[in-house]
Amino acid sequence: MTKEERLKKRHRAEKRFRFYGLASILVALLFVVILVQNIFSKGSSAFKKTVITTEIFFDQDLLEIQNGASQEEIMEADFYDVMIENLIKAYPAKDRAEEDELLKLFSGDAEIEIKKAFLKDNNLLGKTITLDLTASDDIDQLHKGNYPRELPEERRRISDFQLVIYDYFVENKKISKNFNNYFFNNGDSRDPEIAGIGGALVGSFYSILICLLLAFPVAVLASIYLEEFAPKNKITDFIEININNLAAVPSIVYGLLALQILLATIQLPRSTPLVAGITLALMTLPRIIIPCRASLKAVPPSIREGALAVGASKFQSVFHHVVPLALPGTLSGTIIGLAQALGETAPLILIGMVAFVVDIPSSPVDPSSSLPVQVYLWSESAERGFVEKTSATIMMLLSFLIVMNFIAVYLRQKFEKRWN
């Protein structure tokens, strides 16, 4: 082979390598785009809900309360009849069967919505107001265009008559799309139109908070001791190897551990953020220790020597100089560990967080769900309304993760000091 040929071959090899690298990046980006596009196209409609504008007349005889009734009296009053009487006027129905079909176009929460409107303004007795009532899931999906109305009637959940009413609503501009406050404020529900991630949000918040409070101090102190104070011997090496191994243990194993120890032996309350937090803390501990030790190791020894040489004790040199310098790395490692914990599903399923919980937890010892488990639960539901809610929950989860990772990167870049 001549010199020119060898040179050409070398250049070709370099070009090939560049091409492979570029191609890999493009393939990876393509996958990300497909994922995000899929989630957005399915999920973005969940942030809107369909409402039907309805006139409500508060009939004193039906409500059986007086003007100026107290809050408790209103709470106890029966709004069911008021609801029925008003809703059937939304469309001229001929008989009882048609009225039933008409009523099914409204959500199961219509009665509560009417009651809430009444509670807000105490002066409504004997008056008529216009209210935006949440539509049922079927109408919601139909209005958002997710529902194929071309199917024959026996394969549709909406009857021909209901379609007629829907078209009547559309024609008279009685149907519209509002911001879906239920999605953020409500707990889980069997009815997709009123189901929300409120309970899961609070549950995840409590879990991560407990995880942080337990894992952060233990991990930081353990790393400082191991990195700065522990004698370099076989026992320290053994501990280090085990911490690295623990970080690689599948998370479901931590779930099994929690099931056996926290639930069966200590008998902590099942399905609660408390147990979830402890489980996630166990899992996150090694994942924080590793970056924390790495950032301690990255502080140059000359800084320690400089401090020792002016007569600082070992403790002073570590806590006055090394730890502050390692803090940005430690914090960003912690945040990334917490972000992983936030998205963790498997161990939470084992400790019973898959339970169907309607109420929003008011403390860490109330049964609750969490964001990833909510995704898991809804993804198994057949209703179309849950499909968009699953994707919307994933969007929420992803945005939390992106924000956390952004904070981690920001902390590292802002506070990392340079030394020579």
Partner 1 sequence: MNNIKIKSKNLNVYYGDKQALFDVNLDLNEKEVTALIGPSGCGKSTFIRCINRMNDVIDICKVTGNIEMDGMNINDKDLDVVSLRERVGMVFQKPNPFPKSIYDNISYGPKIHGKGETKSELDQIVENSLKKSALWEEVKDRLDEPGTSLSGGQQQRLCIARAISVNPEVILMDEPCSALDPIATAKIEELIDELKKTYTIVIVTHSMAQAVRVSQKTGFFHLGKLIEVGNTEKIFKNPDNKMTQDYITGRFG
Question: Which of 76, 54, 53, 66 minimizes the C-alpha distance to 126?
Answer: 66
Count of CB atoms situated within 10 Å of the CB of 182: 21
Is the Cα torsion angle 125, 128, 129, 132 positive or negative in sign? positive
Per the structure block, which two tokens stand in for 117?
């409107």
- Determine, following the binding rule CB under 8 A, whether residue 68 of this chain makes contact with partner 1: no
Q: Which is nearer to partner 1, 152 or 311 (CB)?
A: 311
| Smallest gap from residue 416 Cβ to partner 1 (A) | 10
Per DSSP, the chain holds a count of helices (H) and strands (E) of 19, 3
Cα→Cα distances 248→242, 251, 274, 408, Å: 10, 9, 24, 22
CB of 417 to partner 1, least distance (A): 4
Min CB(310)–partner 1 separation in Å: 4
DSSP 153: G
Kindly report the length of the chain.
Answer: 420
CA distance 76 to 70: 10
CB of 348 to partner 1, least distance (A): 42
Q: How near is the Cβ of 309 to partner 1 at its closest, in Å?
A: 4
Is 325 a residue that touches partner 1 (CB under 8 A)?
A: yes
Considering the rule CB under 8 A, would residue 312 count as an interface residue with partner 1? yes
- Taking the complex as a whole, how short is the minimal distance between the CB of residue 324 and partner 1, in angstroms? 9
Residue among 155, 173, 414, 418 that touches partner 1 (CB under 8 A): 418
Which phi and psi (to 5°) does residue 135 adopt?
A: -80, 160
**The only residue of 316, 363, 399, 413 in contact with partner 1, by rule CB under 8 A:** 316
Site string (228-267) toward partner 1, x via CB under 8 A: ---xx-----------------------------------
Give burial (CB, 10 Å; 0-12/13-18/19+) of 374.
buried
Cα 322 to Cα 305: distance, rounded to the nearest angstrom: 11
Residue 129 sits in the site that holds partner 1 (CB under 8 A): no
Q: What is residue 188's DSSP assignment? A: -
How far apart are CB 331 and partner 1 at their closest, in Å?
Answer: 17
Encoded one letter per residue, x for contact with partner 1 by CB under 8 A and - for no contact, window 262-301 reads: --------------------------------------x-
CA–CA separation, 48 vs 388, rounded Å? 11
96 near partner 1 (CB under 8 A): no
- Residue 31 or 419 with smaller CB distance to partner 1: 419
Shortest separation between residue 415's beta carbon and partner 1, angstroms: 11
Greatest Cα pair distance, the chain, in angstroms, is 106
Residue 360 is given by DSSP the state: P
- Contact residues for 87 (Cβ-Cβ < 8 A; gap 6+): 54, 102, 103, 106, 110, 133
User: Among the candidate windows 166-174, 220-228, 288-296, 411-419, which touches partner 1 by CB under 8 A?
Assistant: 411-419
Which range of residues in 106-114, 290-298, 319-327, 365-373 is near partner 1 by CB under 8 A? 319-327
Residue number with CB closer to partner 1 (24 or 316): 316
Positions touching partner 1 (CB under 8 A) are 231-232, 300, 302-313, 316, 320-321, 325, 417-420
